[in-house]
């Protein structure tokens, strides 16, 4: 959770636990359903260097994706 630490977020443990517990899965599903209804071609991504992460595709794995993207950039 290096990105959260660098951003100065104080409740990192709660965020880490929420991600592991898929606490936001319902919101992500609702967002993706709306994306399909509106026929949007793309949804927000996080780009670190040349690595692109897709939190809406694999929300449970976003921490690993971001950590790997940051490591790849170094």
φ, ψ (nearest 5 deg) of residue 13: -60, -40
The pLDDT of residue 60 is: 66
pLDDT tens digits along 25-70:
898 889 889 888 988 777 777 777 777 777 766 666 777 777 777 7
- The first and second tokens of residue 38, run together, are 């509106």
The pLDDT of residue 57 is: 66
Query: pLDDT confidence of 6, banded at 50, 70, 90?
Result: confident
- Greater pLDDT, 73 or 39: 39
Domains of the chain by residue range: 2-73
Tell me if 46 sits within 8 A of 52, measured CB to CB: yes
**Which residue intervals of the chain are DSSP H helices?**
2-6, 12-20, 25-37, 62-73
């Amino acid at each position: 959770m290096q990105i959260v630490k660098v951003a100065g977020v104080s409740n990192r443990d709660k965020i880490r636990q929420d991600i592991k517990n898929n606490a936001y899965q319902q919101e992500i599903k609702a967002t993706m359903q709306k994306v399909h209804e509106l026929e949007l071609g793309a949804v927000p991504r996080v780009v670190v260097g040349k690595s692109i992460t897709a939190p809406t595709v694999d929300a449970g794995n976003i921490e690993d994706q971001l950590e790997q993207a940051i490591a790849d950039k170094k």
